[in-house]
Amino acid sequence: MRITLKVWRQKNTQDKGNFKTYKLDNISPDMSFLEMFDVLNEQLVRQGEDPVHFDHDCREGICGMCSLYINGKPHGPKQTTTCQLHMRSFNDGDTITVEPWRATAFPVLKDLVVDRTSFDRVIQAGGYISINTGGVPDANEIPIPKKDADKAMDAAACIGCGACVAACKNASAMLFVSAKISQFSLLPQGQTERKTRAEKMIAQMDSEGFGACTNTGACSAECPKEISLTNIARMNREYFTAKVGSDNV
């Protein structure tokens, strides 16, 4: 395959950045999108040019480190992670535009690499159950209906990649935050801190500069792990319940 790439190049956070065009021949349809970038980078290094920087690690669709906004869609045309996107999803001769995630809360560090530590800070605000190691009850002491455990698992499948934020016109992080809040609100272990968790995580989310949700559902439609929009509804319910009965007046 022959591919033309229009890639966002930006030296660092301060740099304004611009698109650069690269041409690639001999791309195999079996390559993953990132392997196609490996080919480009090998080519650039041989020419003495700085390779295109992008985040990636596991390359099996689970670590959530890869990003890339491809032809106007986070992770490209398929509902999967960029590392699991293959060139067979494109046509010979295509021009492909590649940008970083665009969001105030995800500043660009270099080229296609963005800073997503805002997600970590949201989790630090309350995305946990406050127990210490050891001294916990036997794992089978509290039965959990399979239905609830399965729903919690579906929410917990979030990989924290940030595609939901990139897909949203408001750069809202509601899907990400609601997935964690849902997981714990569905499980008996999460009940004790249920209210404070919702309040704290949402407050942190707002302070990071993520936008509001206008229910267009682009986040869920682009989510590589198909996290459902229902989680946002559940989070709103959790939030209202928490606020109505809040201890933090």
Partner 1 sequence: MKLDSKIPGGPLAEKWSKHKFNVKLVNPANKRKYDIIVVGTGLAGASAAASFGELGYNVKAFCFQDSPRRAHSIAAQGGINAAKNYQNDGDSVFRLFYDTIKGGDYRSREGNVYRLAEVSVDIIDQCVAQGVPFAREYGGLLANRSFGGAQVSRTFYAKGQTGQQLLLGAYSALSRQVSNGKVKLHAREEMIDLVMKDGKAVGIITRNLVTGKIESHSAHAVVLATGGYGNVFFLSTNAMGSNVTAAWRAHKKGALFANPCFTQIHPTCIPVSGDHQSKLTLMSESLRNDGRVWVPKSKEDAEKIRKGELKPTDLPEDKRDYYLEERYPSFGNLVPRDVASRNAKNVCDEGRGVAKTGLAVYLDFADAIKRDSRKVIESKYGNLFDMYQQITGENPYETPMMIYPAVHYTMGGLWVDYNLMTNIPGLYAIGEANFSDHGANRLGASALMQGLADGYFVIPYTIGDYLATLPYEKVSSDDEVFKQAENDIEEKIQKLLSIKGEKTVDDFHKALGHIMWEYCGMSRNEEGLKKAKQEIKKLKEEFWQNVNVIGGNDELNQSLEKANRVADFLELGELMIDDALDRSESCGGHFREESQTEEGEAKRKDDEFSYVSAWEYQGENAEEVLHKEDLVFENVKLTQRSYK
Cα(9)–Cα(51) distance, rounded to whole angstroms?
10
Q: 137: Cβ–Cβ under 8 A, 6 or more apart, which residues?
A: none
CB of 38 to partner 1, least distance (A): 6
DSSP states of 39-105: HHHHHHHHTTPPPPP---SSSSS-S-----EETTEET-SSSS-GGG-BGGGS-TT-EEEEE----TT
CB of 144 to partner 1, least distance (A): 5
Structure tokens at 162: 């940030």
Closer residue to partner 1 in complex, CB, 130/215: 130
Q: Which residues are 99's β-sheet partners?
A: 69
CB of 158 to partner 1, least distance (A): 9
CA angle, corner 26, sides to 22 and 30, nearest 5? 110
CB of 216 to partner 1, least distance (A): 26
Closer residue to partner 1 in complex, CB, 73/123: 123
What is the chain's length?
A: 249
Contact 182, 155 (CB under 8 A): yes
Cα(133)–Cα(127) distance, rounded to whole angstroms?
17
Closer residue to partner 1 in complex, CB, 30/247: 30
CB of 195 to partner 1, least distance (A): 16
Closer residue to partner 1 in complex, CB, 103/213: 103
CB of 2 to partner 1, least distance (A): 15
Closer residue to partner 1 in complex, CB, 73/109: 109
Closer residue to partner 1 in complex, CB, 200/213: 200
Structure tokens at 127: 């995305």
